[in-house]
Amino acid sequence: MSLVRRATTALVTLTATLAVGGLSTSTATAVVPEPPRPAFYEAPAVLPSTNGAVIRSEKVAFLLDPLDATSLVRNAQRVLYRSTNRAGEPIAVSGTVLVPTSPWIGVGSRPVIGYAPGTQGMADRCAPSRLFSEGIEYEGLGIEGLLQRGYAVAMPDYEGLGTAGIHTYMDRVSQGRATLDVVRAAQRLSGTGLGPSSPVGLMGYSQGGGAAASAVELASTYAPDLKVKGAVVGAVPADLAKVASSLDGGLYSAFAYFALRGLSASYDVDLSPYLNDRGRAVSDQVETECVFDLLDHAFVKSSTLSASGRPMSELMAVEPFRSIVEAQRIGTIKPTVPVLVTHSAIDDVIPYAVGKQMARSWCGKGANVRLSTNVAPGHVGGIVPQTVEALPFFEARFAGLPQLSNCWLL
């Protein structure tokens, strides 16, 4: 399968993941056995006391081409760093820091973009910091323009992706914190030329859009030390309840179980009473899969996996699921820096109305927001205009220029 095809598959998949929002298997903490992870990803018995502290780092191949010529102009390092999960517990998270080797020619110090990746999967082998070395990390396509401009890029793997435990897919707080803390780790990493004064941008699409949007909401309180100048967020799954039912039983419905598995792990909810034998088997299986396993469970309706025969969307309307899903809503906290929101009006996975409502909610809180609507073909196509618009947005923010809000249109 070509890299472009893999990228297309992955981006469509990522939002289907968001669809149903709350199942698991026999217990929320039951991790399906996987092949041993590389020793680099194993956390020490005692973690550092500071969020963003680097536990360890190592050089990593960054393959955007078969000959890895990109490594000649990139300082690529894999990092393991401290973050804090939704429950307030210290955790080790892995990620990747990429810095051009050419001198920074802009004003001030080199900016660093906290780039939140889109859906990768649930298995440890799916972590971007591992896939970069295999030349199959589709986000390499999106970050290349940022690197060519001279920006550094810091990308988290998120909680439990690459490291021990279940990936808490679509947990708003955990993903936002991991994104902010990988930027802190990049600034503390030796040999990068980055530091506390480095200007910071945040960016992501779909799952990554949700993580970056959460990060910009949390930045002023969780990471006030970071010099965040703005954020570009695309196709944000800001309201999981509204995304859920439209994807159930569709081509990508199987990957709703990423979110079901991930959120149940984060909230320690045992959902086994709500699944039949087939449902438990499917939930276990998706924990071992990457986004490229897109079609393994296509067109499976959640009602055929539940113990009651009812669709999982109905469970989202009752406790504890209703509160869990509502806690993932984005748009409830005012960002203190300019935000560019991009969304295709014909997004076939995350409804355009969801992104627009998030932007409207931010506007109502007095935030500086610009909603850029495009008509790119579907969810996958929407990442193209976002990538194009991100460069001039960051150029202006790092130059200290204001963003012209269009909240008055919303």
pLDDT over 70 for what percent of the chain? Answer: 88
| Dihedral of alpha carbons 142, 151, 58, 50, sign | negative
| Confidence at 72, pLDDT banded by 50, 70, 90 | low
pLDDT in tens, 36-48: 899 999 999 999 9
User: Tokens 């969801």 label which residue?
Assistant: 354
In this model, does residue 27 exceed pLDDT 60?
no
CA dihedral 335, 410, 394, 332 (to 10 degrees): 20
Q: pLDDT band for position 271 (50/70/90)?
A: confident
Is the pLDDT at 247 greater than 70? The verdict is no
Domain assignments of the chain as residue spans, ordered by start? 3-239+326-409
Strands of the 74-84 sheet, one edge to the other: 54-59, 74-84, 90-100, 152-156, 112-116, 199-205, 227-234, 339-344, 369-374
Lowest mean pLDDT among 78-87, 184-193, 279-288: 279-288
Residue 84: pLDDT band (50, 70, 90) is very high
CB atoms within 10 A of CB 8: 19
CATH class for the region spanning 3-239+326-409: alpha beta
Per-residue model confidence (pLDDT) at position 26: 34
Q: Kindly state the average pLDDT of the residues 57-74.
A: 74
- Of 65 and 130, more confident: 130
pLDDT for position 255: 63
Please tell me whether residue 263 adopts helix, strand or coil conformation.
helix
Q: What is the pLDDT of residues 308-340, one digit of tens each?
A: 888 877 877 888 889 999 999 999 999 999 999
pLDDT confidence band for 200 (50 / 70 / 90): very high
Per-chain mean pLDDT for the chain: 87
Taking 80 as the threshold, does the pLDDT of residue 65 lie above it?
A: no
Statement: residue 95 has pLDDT above 90: yes
Three-state secondary structure call for residue 331: coil
- 291 vs 361 pLDDT, higher one: 361
Q: Which of 287, 13, 298 has its CA nearest to residue 138?
A: 13
pLDDT value at residue 73: 66
Between residues 34 and 350, the one the model is more confident about: 350
Name the pairing type of β-strands 90-100 and 74-84: antiparallel
| Whether residue 193 has pLDDT greater than 70 | yes
Q: Tell me which of 63 and 24 has the higher pLDDT.
A: 63
Q: Where are the alpha helices (DSSP H) in 67-155?
A: 128-131, 139-149
Is residue 12 predicted with pLDDT exceeding 70?
Answer: no
Residue 24 has pLDDT above 50, yes or no: no
Q: Which residue has the higher pLDDT, 360 or 70?
A: 360
Predicted TM-score (pTM) above 0.75:
yes
| Confidence grade of residue 5 (pLDDT, cut at 50, 70, 90) | very low
Amino acid at 330: I
* Confidence (pLDDT) at 30: 57
Question: Which pLDDT band holds residue 380 (cuts at 50, 70, 90)?
Answer: confident
Residues paired with 374 in a beta bridge: 344
Specify burial of residue 41 (Cβ count, 10 A radius: 0-12, 13-18, 19+): buried
> Can you tell me the mean pLDDT for 386-394?
97
**List of residues 6+ apart from 150 with CB closer than 8 A:** 100, 102, 104, 105, 106, 110
Over range 99-111, report the average pLDDT.
92
Predicted pLDDT of residue 6: 36
